[in-house]
Structures are given as C-alpha cells and as structure tokens.
Amino acid sequence: MKFWLMAPLLIGEPQVPASPDPAPAPAATPEAVTTEAAPPVERYDGSFADGAAELQRLALAGETEAALALSDALLVPGPLADLRARAERKTSGASERVLESLAGSLNWLGLPLDESANRAEVHYARGLIHAQASELQPSNDSFELARVLAGPGVTRLDAIYNQGNLDFALGDAMRQMIPEIVGEDAVVAKPEEMEEEPLDVARAAFLGARAHYVERLSADWRDADTRANAELTLRRLKELDEVEHEREEQQQDEEQDDQEKKEGEQDPSDENQESEDEPSDEEGSEDQDADQPEESEEDQPEDGEESEEEQQEEGEQSDEDSEPQQAEPKEEAEKHLTDEEVKRLLERLQELDDKGKELRDRLRGVRRVPVKRDW
C-alpha cells in the first residue's frame, strides 16, 4: 500500500516543546531505588494493509502520538522473521529456495516473506508525521531509512524528494534571519543558542536541497515539482551570494574609512617635530656657505687694488709700451748728449730690457687653480 505524498514544505523555525521545570525528586534510599523498563511494543495484530490505512487516518487527523505508536507496532518483526532466520542457519540457506516458491501464497495470506518494502513504507509515513510536527531532524532520519529499505522504486524517489524539501525549509527559515533580504522590520531574531551565521546555515541547507533534487531528477527528469523546486533553490543560492558580496564590499569600505580616520587623527606634535628636524632654507644656505672655504682677506683684493697677476700683466704691458715712448726722446737726445752719456743710456736700456724678459718668463710659468663646477 502506498502512503500519501508530501507536498513541498515551507516550514518555519523548528518548534521544540518547552518542558516544565521538574519537581525536586525525593532523596533516594538504597532499598528504594528501582528502575522501570519500557514495556515492549506489541506487533500490530491485523494485516499490514489495515494498519497502513489506520496510520494514514491518524496522521491526517493530527493525532501525532497515536500515529507514531501505531507505526512502532507495525515495525515489529512478524512471526515468520525469526522462524526464517533459524531455518536459514540450520539448512545452510537451503530453506530460502523453498520459501521463495511460497512467497506469493504467504503475501496473499498477509504474511509477506520479505518485509523490507513494508518497513520502508512505515518509515516513510513516520517521516511525514514528524515533518507535519515541524520536527525536521527526526523526519529526515525516517526518510533516510525509507530510501535505504525501499530500494529502487517510487517510495525511494519520494523519500529523496521530501529530503530535499526539508533542506529547503531549513534554508528558508534561516533566510528570514537575514536583514538584507527580508528587511530590518521583518527579520526573525536569531536564537541565542545558535552560534552559526544564518547566511552560512542557509547556504548549506540550500546546497543539500539542490543535491537531493538533482538526485531525484537523475531518475526522472520530467518530474515538474522537482524541477520547479530545483530552480527556486538555485535562485536562493544566487541571492545569498549577492548578500555576501555586498557585505564584503561594505567591510572593505569601513576598513578604508577607519584607515583614513586614523591618518587624519595623527598627532600634530609629530608633524611639528618633523618640521623642526628639517632645516629651513636660510639655515641650509648658511650651512652651504659654511661648507665653502672662506677666502682670506689676503686673497681678496680690496677696492681700488689689483691682484698680483693683474699688476704683473699691466707692468709688462707698460714696459712694452714705455720702451718705444722712451726711445723717441732718446733718439732726439742723442744729438745733444755726449758720447759717455749715450753709453750710460744704452746700458740702462739694456738693463731694463733684461728685467722685462725675466718678468715675462715668470708670468708664463703661473698656472690658475682650476675651479670645481657642479654643472
């Protein structure tokens, strides 16, 4: 018998019933300590088809506890299960060949030889019951058992589809805690015991939903509900990526603003100290002047005076110019001078001429000190 299918869920935050504060227990004495064991679950005494129909009725009526209790009774192994295991051990597996030939008759009598398929249906129904009570983790565990026990078939595919719906419901519940998506006014408060970031939990849940939907579509890609849910999941993931990108840009802008603010609030005394350490233009010029060797007063010619070299050059020029000027009057004076006077005059001219040559030789030997140029 096939149980009802589960529609796409949009479940809010899982609701955990609040348990009242337990009353203080009386002090236990050694002789008064007793342990109460849970009573064993009795197997459902009717056929599996009748039990499955009753389970569906209780679940749709919202009688969760009664439905879960009935499912526990349906999961108790049948009388043939233990007999079959003992016969298999004694016959070394030969009994299985005999039982296979009787499988049709046993199923008709309500004694199925292989109860895996029926147990998968019960676990699938328990998954639906937990989901309606917003108990996501127990619901997912029941669907996982259903898909394992069912094997290939409709029950397995439906269990995979509903596992994707549970992951999507969890991601959508976390999405309601993201203010960038729902707005500051509609955001749901994050539980105090929740340490993870809602965006990270939502992304992990949507990724799980996408994996289940893809697995379901790999078996039958024409399922319209699975394709629609898969497309919606991809849009949710893209939405989360955009929110995360906006947060990263905002964080970078805040870090840049903080850096600029720190630079603007730099201590002005540091700037003054730096300006004091830097030499001023006047001080720099004075240092440059101090580095240059000072000319002694002896080297610097005074106003109206000429350097020794210039004096020597001028003296040479004056001697050369004076020679012809003196020669002319001497030629005229020879007419009136005696021979002795002319002789002394010639000796004097020869002596002046020798001194002029010596002075010219000295000037040729003078060398100027080359000036160092910075260009």
**Mean pLDDT over the full length of the chain:** 74
Q: What is the pLDDT of residue 90?
A: 78
This prediction has a pTM of 0.58
Q: Tell me the pLDDT tens digit for each residue of 219-249.
A: 988 999 999 999 999 999 999 999 999 999 9
Q: Report, as an integer, the average pLDDT of 319-333.
A: 49
Q: Tell me the pLDDT tens digit for each residue of 183-192.
A: 989 899 988 8
* Long-range contacts, stretch 78-86, CB < 8 angstroms, 24+ apart: 78/43, 78/111, 78/112, 78/115, 79/111, 80/106, 80/111, 80/113, 81/115, 84/113
Encode 110-141: b = buried (16+ Cβ within 10 Å), e = exposed. Answer: ebbbebeebbbbbbbbbbbbbbbbbbbeebbe
How confident is residue 2, by pLDDT bands cut at 50, 70 and 90?
A: very low
Q: Tell me the pLDDT tens digit for each residue of 71-95.
A: 999 998 876 666 766 777 777 667 7
Query: Tokens for 312?
Result: 């020597």
Q: Who's near 356: CB < 8 A, 6+ residues apart? A: 316, 319, 320, 323
Radius of gyration in angstroms for the set of CA atoms belonging to the chain, rounded to a whole number: 58
Q: What is the pLDDT of residue 241?
A: 96
Q: Output 37 or 245, whichever has higher pLDDT.
A: 245
Q: What is the DSSP string of 102-127?
A: THHHHHHTT--S--HHHHHHHHHHHH
Rounded to the nearest 5°, which phi and psi values hold at 326?
-80, -25
How confident is residue 32, by pLDDT bands cut at 50, 70 and 90?
A: very low
Q: What is the pLDDT of residue 289?
A: 54
Domain locations along the chain: 152-255, 312-366
Q: Is the pLDDT of residue 24 over 50?
A: no
